Amino acid sequence: MNAVRSLVEVRVPDMGNFKDVAVIDVLVKPGDTVVIDSPLVTLESDKATMDVPSTAVGVVEKLHTNKGGKVNTGDLIATVRANGSAPAAAPLGTVPPATAPPATAPPSRSAAAPPPTPRGVSPAAAPERASAPEAGAALAAAVATTLRSDLAPIDEPGFSRAHAGPSVRKFARELGVDLARVTGQGFKGRITHEDVKSFVKSALAGGAPETARPAAPALPPFPAVDFTQFGPTAIEPLSRIQRISGPRLHASWVNVPHVTQFDLADITELEQVRAGLKDRAQAAGVKLTPLAFILRACVKALQQFPRFNASLDATGANLIVRKFLHLGFAADTPNGLVVPVVRDADRKDVYELARQLAQLSEKARAGKLAPGDMQGGCFTISSLGGIGGTAFTPIINAPEVAILGVSRSSMQPVYQGGSFVPRLMLPLSLSYDHRVIDGAMAVRFTTYLAQTLGDPRGLLEAVL
C-alpha cells in the first residue's frame, strides 16, 4: 500500500503459497466510507476464507477487482481517499516520507493538542464522525434486542458450518442472527452482509419463521468454451439413458455426503465351489456367475445391518426402514448404464439369483426393460470386475443410502500360518450416505460381507 497525496492503495496481503484466489464477495462500492480494518472484499482459497481490510479511514475511490475475479499476493484491491491530509500508513518494512506543515501556516484551533483521533482523520472531523459509530451501535443493539426476543437462540454448530466470512459472522453475531437460518445468495451460496440485512428486515416484519431453513444454493454453471479454436471437433448427442441418468447422478453427488470404504474379500474357496457346481448349474439351465454369489452375500449383510436397507424421509429427520429386500445391479448396455432390480432377493437361492440376473441383463441389452424392472431397489451392486480396475468410488443411487462397487479379483500373496500363500482377492468399494451410516458401521458391513464371501457354504445353505 502506497500513499499518493491522500490516496491509499489497499493490496492483497501475503497469502503464502496460494495462487489465483477467488474473490467471492465485494463488501463495499465506490463512495462508501470506511475505517481502518473495515472489510473490503472476501477471498476464498481451497483451505479458508479471509477478508482484506482497509488500512485507512476515508472514502472508497475505486475498486480494482470484482466478484468472481482472481487475485494474488500484492494485487491492488481498492483505492481509498483518506480523510484529511495525514499520510496513509505504509506497508510493513517501509517508512513514509516525512512531511512538515508550512512555516507560515496560521494558527488554528486544530493546531492545539487534540484528543487522540482515528488514523487518517483530521481532528476537526473527528467529533462529527464519532457520532456515527455510536448511532450504529445503538441501532444494532436495538435490532439485536428485537431479534433475540423474536427468534430462537443461535444454533452454534449450525452457525459455525454456515458459508460466511469473518466479517459477516461478526455482523450476524452483533445482530443476534443465526447464520444457519440465512439463505446465502453470494458466490457458491455464500452468505453476504446483504443476506443478513434481508433476513433482519424479514424478521422485523414478522416474515422469518422459526423453522426457516436455507434453500440449497444453485451451483455456478461451467463457462462455455469454443473448442474449435483449438482444432477440429464433432458433436455426439448423449443417449437418452445418459440424459436421464446424468441429472440424477449429479443430484445424488451434490446432495448426499458420500464416503467410500475399501476392503478385500478372499474368494479362493468360493471360486473353487463355483467351479464344482458348474455341471449342476448347467443341468438347471443357469450360469453361476460370481455376481450371483455377491448378491446372495449382500442379502445376508443387509439382514445383519438393516440400516443399509433404509432411506431418509423428506424431512431428513427420520429413517424409513424397508421390510423387503430388492437388489439393483448396474448393467452396461450400448446406450448407457441401467440398474435393473432383482425383487425379493432374500427369497431366492444362488441359482434363482443367477437366472434373474441373466434375464434382466438380456432385457437391458435389448432395450426392453420396463419401468417396473428398474424401480423399488434397496441397495445396488456395481460390478466392473469383468472389465478391470482395482477400486473406484461408485455414486449412491439415491434415495438408497449405500452402493457396493466390485472390481476385478486377482491372485495376491497373503501371509497365513507363517508363510505367504496365493489367494484370490476381490476388491470391494462401499460408498455410503454419511448422514445415515457412520464409518464404524461401514467397516463392520464390509468386514461381514468379506467374511461371508470367504465362506461359500453359508451362501449355498438353501440349495445343499
Nearest to 456 by CA among 421, 426, 433: 426
Rounded CA-CA distance 289/122 in Å is 86
Q: How far apart are the first and last CA of the chain?
A: 83
Nearest to 62 by CA among 34, 29, 22, 27: 29
3-state secondary structure of 114: coil
- Length of the chain counted residue by residue: 464
Considering the candidates 64, 258, 326, 434, report the single residue annotated as catalytic: 434
Query: What's the one-letter identity of residue 10?
Result: V
Give exposure, 328-345, as e/b (b: 16+ Cβ within 10 Å): bbbbbbeebebbbbbbeb
Instruction: Report in angstroms the alpha-carbon separations of 102 from 85, 331, 376.
Output: 13, 87, 87
In the numeric block, the cell 452402493 is attached to 403
Please list the alpha-helical segments (H only) found in 277-426.
278-283, 290-304, 350-365
Any catalytic annotation for residue 434? yes
Instruction: Indicate the burial class of 358 (C-beta count within 10 angstroms; 0-12, 13-18, 19 or more).
Output: middle
> How many C-beta neighbours within 10 Å does residue 279 have?
8
Instruction: Report in angstroms the alpha-carbon separations of 170 from 25, 77, 190, 463.
Output: 16, 22, 15, 67
Please list the alpha-helical segments (H only) found in 207-288.
240-255, 268-276, 278-283
Catalytic residues: 434
